[in-house]
């Protein structure tokens, strides 16, 4: 009886570990088959790289999403996928008009060229990341 109980505990532990690994992979983009690519990048005077990245797919419920991240190099598609599912996203929203530019070594300006983005077109928006302040032009503050 004691042996059966030990085997049951090992089985339950293994199932719990597998479930945790599955949930981690699910919420960190490992099952996301979308296409990730850089649409625009700008290097700061301190060698930080701001990137407008685009996630697209051909699934019925998927679609087009743009987001802005900062790194110390241009990200490859795997790094873009990881950033998309992390706290590294500075801005996420409509893709049509996004632009980025550095206004000094520690200030990034995210803008909408030619039109204005309202709150309904914004998924995520930060004002600061590390020592870099974020300013917005023609984009509503959420």
Show the CA angle centred on residue 119, arms to residues 117 and 122, nearest 5°.
75
The lowest-confidence range among 2-6, 12-16, 39-43, 57-61 is 57-61
Distance, CA of 24 to CA of 8 (rounded, Å): 24
pLDDT of residue 59: 61
Whether residue 136 is predicted with pLDDT greater than 90 in this model: the reply is yes
The residue with greater pLDDT, 110 or 31, is: 110
pLDDT of residue 13: 79
Considering only CA atoms, which of 103, 93, 83, 102 is closest in space to residue 139?
Answer: 93
pTM for the full predicted model: 0.78
């Amino acid at each position: 009886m004691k042996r059966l109980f030990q085997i049951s505990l090992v089985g339950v532990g293994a199932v719990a570990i597998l479930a945790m690994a599955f949930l981690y992979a699910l919420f960190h983009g490992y099952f996301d088959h979308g296409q990730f690519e850089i649409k625009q990048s700008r290097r700061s005077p301190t060698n930080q790289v701001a990137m407008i990245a685009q996630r697209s797919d051909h699934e019925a419920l998927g679609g087009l999403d743009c987001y802005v991240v900062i790194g110390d190099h241009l990200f490859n598609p795997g790094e873009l996928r990881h950033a998309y599912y992390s706290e590294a996203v500075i801005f996420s929203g409509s893709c049509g008009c996004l632009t980025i530019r550095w206004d000094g070594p520690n200030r990034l300006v995210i803008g909408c060229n030619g039109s204005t983005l309202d709150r309904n077109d914004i998924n995520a928006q930060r004002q600061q990341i590390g020592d870099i302040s974020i300013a917005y032009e023609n984009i509503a503050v959420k």
